[in-house]
Chain A
Amino acid sequence: MALQRDHELHRRRLSMNLGVGLTLVALAALIFGITVVKIANGSLMEAYDHQPRVSELPVTEPTQ
């Protein structure tokens, strides 16, 4: 069967390609946003899991 340029098959593939493409762009934007917020909110973070650590906080001496 000869394929026409605008065969229904191509529309299905366009739907799939657009969907996957937009999903990947959205995921990249989301990860970028999470990174910006994490860095902006926490200068006292350890890098491996981006969680604040109490051990990193400055030691405060008890006052008399």
Chain B
Amino acid sequence: MTDATALDRPHDARFGDYVQLLKPRVMSLVVFTALVGLLVTPVPVHPFLGFAAILFIALGAGASGALNMWWDADIDAVMRRTSRRPVPQGRVGAQEALAVGLGLSGIAVVMLGLAANWTAAALLAFTIFFYAVVYSMWLKRSTPQNIVIGGAAGAFPPVIGWAAATGGTSLEAWLMFALIFLWTPPHFWALALYMREDYHRAGVPMLTVTHGRKATRAHILGYTAVLALFAVGAGFTGLGGPVYVAAAVVLNALFLLGAWRIWRRDEAAAQADHYAAEKRFFRFSLIYLFLHFGALLWDAVLARTGVL
């Protein structure tokens, strides 16, 4: 591109715009859960190889984010929450996002295979495929179950972390998977409740659009109850320890209370306080997941240092 043609574009990409394509905030959750998955295994990992494995898992997650932004550019442009992303803003072309997504996917999978093992690499490749193709291209626009099934993509990182350390998977890894899988629907439905017209306008069949807000509130409570039972129950398997059990009991009681408050409210009450309970529930859901995985890590550290 010459200087003259570059000036014709209203925006020209900075490096940070390409970083935005990788959804850095989502990536931070991926990094943490994958790191816990890698560290709670009974197998010691060389710190540098562990660091490299986490980096490539994060890069793979970022690549799937770029592919999602390429495919969903039309939806992102009409949703308030996503309209400032680089593709709808015109700072990065949709085809560029596709190229970045495909390129980084290849690099992340191959490098994870070389740094850790090919089981972890295969799981990462499947995760990218699941998020970009199964969720973004298929489920998101066709069913209100989109984030229920699509949540699996976000649940894979601790399994990949576990596989990077051990070369395979185990019950503990799949329990961590299930924890994130069950957490995803109430987390996103709370967001859908207070983003109000965003999904309507974009034509995305979220539960709020297809079944209404009352049904969504009931679904949040139902899924949170199942999640709470599972999360506390997991503490009594090989995965959990005393720190996890204590954290899970407190966190799930608070999470259930939040879901109960959302269920009891109607739209008039929610609008009156600008969806305060829904926003609080959404913010707490992030802390909830972080603390569950933090507790798992803490138990593993205590076990490794001989305290437990």
> Chain A: residues with CB nearer than 8 A to chain B?
1, 3, 7, 9, 12-13, 15-16, 18-20, 30-31, 33-34, 37-38, 41, 49-51
The answer, among B14, B46, B113, B117, for a CB contact under 8 Å with A16, is B14
> Chain B: residues with CB nearer than 8 A to chain A?
3, 6-7, 12-16, 18-19, 46, 48-49, 52, 55, 111, 113-115, 117-118
Interchain CB contact under 8 A, B7 and A37 = no
C-alpha spacing A7/B12, complex, angstroms: 13
Q: B18 — which chain A residues lie within 8 A by C-beta?
A: 19
C-alpha spacing A41/B6, complex, angstroms: 50
The answer, among B3, B14, B114, for a CB contact under 8 Å with A49, is B114
| Pairs of residues from A and B, 10 with the lowest C-beta to C-beta distance, nearest first | A19-B15, A15-B14, A12-B12, A15-B15, A37-B48, A34-B115, A16-B15, A12-B14, A33-B48, A34-B52
Q: A49 — which chain B residues lie within 8 A by C-beta?
A: 113-114, 118
Q: A37 — which chain B residues lie within 8 A by C-beta?
A: 46, 48-49
Q: B7 — which chain A residues lie within 8 A by C-beta?
A: 1, 3, 9
Residue of B whose beta carbon sits closest to that of A33:
B48
Q: A33 — which chain B residues lie within 8 A by C-beta?
A: 48, 52
Q: A15 — which chain B residues lie within 8 A by C-beta?
A: 14-16
C-alpha spacing A34/B13, complex, angstroms: 32
Give the number of residue pairs across the A-B interface with Cβ within 8 Å.
Answer: 46
Residue of B whose beta carbon sits closest to that of A11:
B14
Instruction: Give, as a whole number of angstroms, the nearest-CB distance from A59 to chain B.
Output: 23
C-alpha spacing A19/B49, complex, angstroms: 24
Given A12-B12, A16-B15, 12 extra CB contacts under 8 A: A3-B7, A7-B3, A9-B7, A12-B14, A13-B12, A15-B15, A33-B52, A34-B49, A41-B46, A49-B114, A49-B118, A51-B117
C-alpha spacing A41/B227, complex, angstroms: 42
C-alpha spacing A20/B13, complex, angstroms: 12
Residue of B whose beta carbon sits closest to that of A36:
B48
Residue of A whose beta carbon sits closest to that of B49:
A37
Q: A3 — which chain B residues lie within 8 A by C-beta?
A: 3, 7
Q: B13 — which chain A residues lie within 8 A by C-beta?
A: 12, 16
Instruction: Give, as a whole number of angstroms, the nearest-CB distance from B50 to chain A.
Output: 10
Q: B113 — which chain A residues lie within 8 A by C-beta?
A: 49
Residue of B whose beta carbon sits closest to that of A22:
B15
Instruction: Give, as a whole number of angstroms, the nearest-CB distance from B85 to chain A.
Output: 18
Residue of A whose beta carbon sits closest to that of B53:
A34
Residue of B whose beta carbon sits closest to that of A19:
B15
Q: A31 — which chain B residues lie within 8 A by C-beta?
A: 111
Residue of A whose beta carbon sits closest to that of B107:
A27
C-alpha spacing A18/B18, complex, angstroms: 13
Residue of B whose beta carbon sits closest to that of A9:
B6
Residue of A whose beta carbon sits closest to that of B117:
A51
The answer, among B15, B49, B52, B114, for a CB contact under 8 Å with A20, is B15
Instruction: Give, as a whole number of angstroms, the nearest-CB distance from A27 to chain B.
Output: 8
C-alpha spacing A33/B19, complex, angstroms: 24
Q: A38 — which chain B residues lie within 8 A by C-beta?
A: 49
Residue of A whose beta carbon sits closest to that of B16:
A15
Q: A9 — which chain B residues lie within 8 A by C-beta?
A: 3, 6-7, 12
